Structure 1
Amino acid sequence: MNKRLIVSALTVTLGLTAAVGLAQTSGIKKGLKITMLPKFINNPYFTTTDNGGLEAIKEFGGVGKAVGPSDGGASSQVSYINTLIAQRQDAIVLAANDANALVPSLKRAMAQGIKVVTFDSDVAPEGRQIFINQAKSDGIAKGQIELMSKLMGGKGEFAILSATPNATNQNAWIAIMQEELKKPAYKDMKLVKIAYGNDDDQKSFTEMQGLLQAYPNLKGVISPTTVGISAAARYLSTSPKKGKVMLTGLGTPNQMRSFIKDGTVTAFQLWNPSDLGYLAAYTAGSLASGMITGKEGDTFTAGKLGKYTVGKNGEVVLGPPTTFDKANIDKFNF
Structure 2
Amino acid sequence: MSIEKSGSRFGRRDLLKLSAAAGVAVAGASLVGQKAVLAADEELSLKGKRIAISATGTDHFFDLQAYNAQIEEVKRLGGEPIAVDAGRNDGKLVSQLQTLIAQKPDAIVQILGTLSVIDPWLKKARDAGIPVLTVDVGSTNSINNTTSDNWGIGKDLALQLVSDIGGEGNIVVFNGFYGVTPCAIRYDQLVNVVKYFPKVKILQPELRDVIPNTVQDAFTQITAILNKYPEKGSIKAIWSAWDIPQLGATQALAAAGRTEIRTYGVDGSPEVLQLVADPKSPAGADVAQQPAEIGRTAIRNVAKLLAGQTLPRETYVPALLANKANVGEVTKKLGIG
TM-score (norm. length: structure 1): 0.77
Residue 41 of structure 1 aligns to a residue whose secondary structure is: coil
Are the aligned partners of 1:162 and 1:198 in contact in 2 as well (CA < 8 Å)? Answer: no
Return closer, same or farther for 1:23/1:44 CA change in 2, 3 Å cut-off: closer
TM-aligned CA deviation for residue 47 of structure 1:
0.7
Distance 1:195 1:274 in 2: 30
Would you say the 8 A contact 1:164–1:199 is kept in 2?
no
Provide the rounded CA distance (Å) in 2 between the counterparts of 1:70 and 1:104. Answer: 20
Matched residue, 1:223: 240
Q: Secondary structure at the residue paired with 2:116?
A: coil
2:226 aligns to what? 212
Are 2:53 and 2:110, in contact at CA under 8 Å, matched by a contact in 1?
yes
Q: Does 1:103 align with 2:119?
A: yes
User: RMSD of the alignment, in Å?
Assistant: 2.5
Q: Match of 1:37, as an amino acid?
A: S
- From 39, 52, 65, the equivalent of 1:48 is 65
Q: 2:286 aligns with which of 251, 268, 275?
A: 268
**Which amino acid is the alignment partner of residue 148 of structure 1?**
L
Taking the aligned partners of 2:163 and 2:211, their CA distance within structure 1 comes to 26
1:171-194 CA-to-partner distances (Å, cap 9, x unmatched) read 2221232122222xx232111143
Contact 2:67-2:295 within 8 A present in 1 as well = yes
Question: Where does structure 2 lack aligned partners over 5 or more consecutive residues?
Answer: 1-38
Which aligned pairs between 1:135-284 and structure 2 lie closer than 5 A? 135=149, 137-183=150-196, 186-193=197-204, 194-200=206-212, 201=214, 202-216=216-230, 217-242=234-259, 244-260=260-276, 261=278, 262-284=280-302
1:23: Cα distance to partner? 12
Whichever residue aligns with residue 112 of structure 1, its letter is: A
Change (3 A) 1:229 1:36: farther
Secondary structure, aligned partner of 1:100? helix
Please state whether the residue corresponding to 1:66 is helix, strand or coil.
strand
Q: Does the 8 Å CA contact 1:158/1:220 hold for their aligned counterparts?
A: yes
Q: 2:317 aligns to what?
A: 318
Question: How many pairs are equivalent?
Answer: 287
The CA deviation at 1:250 is 0.9
Shift of 1:109: 1.2
Deviations 1:283-321 (A, max 9, x none): 1222233323xxxxx4xxxxxxxxxxx1xxx22222243
Q: Deviations over 1:212-257 (max 9, x none)?
A: 3334411101112132222222322322212x11101113241214
Q: CA 1:251–1:203 in structure 2 vs 1: closer, same or farther (change >3 Å)? A: same
Counterpart Cα distance in 2 of 1:266 and 1:178: 19
The alignment status of 1:118 with 2:134, answered yes or no, reads: yes
Distance 2:241 2:322 in 1: 13
**1:195 Cα offset (Å):** 1.5
Output aligned runs, 1:69-80, within 5 Å.
69-71=86-88, 73-80=89-96
Give the Cα–Cα distance (whole angstroms) in 2 for the partners of residues 272 and 61 of structure 1. Answer: 24
Q: Distance in 2 between matches of 1:214 and 1:272?
A: 37
Partner of 2:329 in structure 1? 328
Distance 2:61 2:269 in 1: 11
CA distance in 2, matches of 1:30, 1:77: 27
**Conserved in 1, the CA contact under 8 Å of 2:148 and 2:317?**
yes
- Paired with 1:222 and 1:291, the residues of 2 have a C-alpha distance of 40
Supply the AA of the counterpart residue of 1:177: L
Question: CA separation in 2, counterparts of 1:131 and 1:23?
Answer: 20
Unaligned runs of 5+ in 1: 1-21, 293-297, 299-309
Q: Distance in 2 between matches of 1:23 and 1:88?
A: 29
Based on CA coordinates, which of the two structures has the bigger radius of gyration? 1
Distance 2:176 2:244 in 1: 8
CA–CA distance in 2 between the matches of 1:54 and 1:114? 19
CA distance in 1, matches of 2:241, 2:41: 41
